[in-house]
Structure formats: C-alpha cells, structure tokens
Chain A
C-alpha cells in the first residue's frame, strides 16, 4: 500500500479507517441478517407460495427495507474501500456480498482481518518514520 502522506495525515487516515471499519462491520451484519429475512420471504412468497397468487407473506416492507439497508451498506463499503485504498476487485466482492446470502458475514471476517493487519503494519511504520 502506498503511504505517501505526512505522518500526521497518515495518522488521521488510519483513525478514519478504523472508524470506517467499525461502521462497515455493523452494516455487514445488519445487511446480512436482512438479506436472510429477504431470502426467507422470497422462498415463502415465490417458491412455496404460502398465500397464493405470490402475495407477500412476511410483508411488502421486507424487500423495500432491504433496498435501503443495502444502500447504507454500500456507503460504508465505499468509505472503507477508499480509506484503505484497496483494489477494485475487493470493492466488487464487498458490493456483491450484500446480495449473496451469508457472503457478507464471511467476507466481513476476511476484510476485518486484512484491514487490522494493514492498519497495524502502517501504525508501526508511521511511528517509526522520521
């Protein structure tokens, strides 16, 4: 990762990254949970067809709220991705994780682990820098 900023700017970037990482974690879990609810609703409504005529079972609000939750998730993904200066592939993976059931939980662990490793690495280098 390029770290071409002054030590003060770099430190503020790292603080921002930690905050972004926390927000991303929250939204990854919320989105993942809501996606499971949406998956259940889709199965009940479209596969099993509990109410007949493919009418909503849990509620019409499930897909609507998932849409807005996903948007909030994308915001946290974008902010984290920008401050961490990751490649495009990781962005695509994180964007997809919000719509593939269970993927956000799995990916969040990996992203968190990587981010902690990189940030820890950079902290030590920043404090050692002249």
Chain B
C-alpha cells in the first residue's frame, strides 16, 4: 500500500504545484491588466484638456500623493540663471542629465503673492550637457506636463550648477520662495524649446497601478484548489493509517 500512497502524494503535490503556479499567473495578470487600465486612463486623460495648476496645487502647500502624474497646464516665465542639471538620470536605459529650470508662474485671477511663485520644471533629458540646447525659451511660455512629488535633498553642492536631487526645499534656498512642493515634468511647451531635449515619460503613481480584483480573486481561488489537493492527500493517509491499525488489531474486518 505504501507505493500507492507515494504515487498519490506525488500526483497531488503536482496538482497543488500547478494550482499554485496558476495562482501566480493570475496574480501577474492582475498586475498587467491594471497596468493596461492605467494606460487607458492616461490615454483618455491625454485627449482632454489639462487642469490649470492653480486649481490643483497652490504654492507652499502639501503635495498629496494622488497628485503624482496629474496632467496640468501652467503659464510663466523661465529664469535661465537658476537652471540646474540633475545628474545621474537615465531615460530608456541611457544615463544622462535632466534640465531643471525655475518657472516664475504668472499670477492667475486670484494671485495675490507679492513675488510670483516658482515651480521647478524638468524641461527634458539629454545625454551630455550642451550649452546651445540648454537655453530656455524667453518670455512667457505655456506648458503642459505632469506633476511629480519633490525628492529628498541631494548630496551635491548646488552652487556648481549641477545637483543630484529635485528638492523644492533645497531649491527654495537658491531660487527664493514661495515655491511649489512638487515639480512639473514638462510634456509640451508653447513657444517650443530648443531641439535636443527628450521629454520625460509621465511619472507613475507610487505603489504602481494596483491590482485587478477579478484576477486577484482567481489567484486566491487557485491557491485554495491547491489546498484541496493537499487536504485530499492527508485524508488518504489517515484512511490508510486507520486500515493498518484495524488489520493489526484484535477485531477482524467484517466485510470486504
């Protein structure tokens, strides 16, 4: 009888393994489907007019996590003198620099700030610094882009014109406040900026796109099926043990 149990164990373990693997597959599908849903939402959002920055975020206020990736439009004037290169940033697997330029935001209807607020703008990425491409468009520009949360303070000396972090707290010391507690990843500029800068992709929300609930439920169900296989085996073992005890006990089996 032992070999039969061993075969059953192997079969049921295999079944449990297959169920476990199917659960993992569904978990992957839960990821990829919610990712697809996110991209669809992004595409739908991109076809509608962006929100005005004034309506979404005020200077010197907390940057809520759900603002990450929000598409906004803003008008203002670049101050070329305050521009930084952010080192050690890769796009498409290539290492390079981000161009970070302060934008003095034009006062909206309710703008009462004595000094125009400054919004850090990532104007794009480039592989190596090149003076001609770095000059921002003069005068008032209209930008659209995506909001991103400020980073922690960097470790480099900002005076050198290069930094390794986009930190509003740090930048406010140099640019002068008031400053927004987040930055803009620019996607379009009117008038256009110099060629040679690569736009950054829209930032992803923290925690990713979440999980598709249907596939998550399927994943759990597959794991429960796997548990059934194991329960079945333990049942077989117990039956076998009971039989063995009986046949060695004083009572003989009454019928076949």
Contact = CB atoms under 8 A, between A and B. Distances in A.
A74 B224 CA distance: 10
Interface string A1-25: 1111000000000000000000000
A71 to B, nearest CB: 5
Contacts of A68: 217, 221
Given A71-B224, A78-B228, A82-B235, A3 B218 contact: no
Contacts of B254: 2-4
A82 B218 CA distance: 27
Nearest to B221: A67
Interface residues of B, number: 18
A68 B214 CA distance: 12
A3 B224 CA distance: 32
Nearest to A65: B217
Given A63-B214, A78-B228, A78-B232, A71 B221 contact: yes
Contact of A2 (B231, B235, B255): B255
Given A63-B214, A71-B221, A82-B235, A4 B253 contact: yes
A82 B232 CA distance: 9
Contacts of B214: 60, 63-64
A71 B226 CA distance: 11
Interface string A69-89: 011001000100010010000
B235 A67 contact: no
A68 to B, nearest CB: 7
B54 to A, nearest CB: 38
Interface string B214-237: 100110010011001001100100
Q: In the A-B complex, list the 6 residue pairs whose CB atoms are closest, starting with the nearest.
A: A67-B221, A64-B217, A71-B224, A60-B214, A4-B246, A64-B214
Interface of A: 1-4, 60, 63-64, 67-68, 70-71, 74, 78, 82, 85, 91
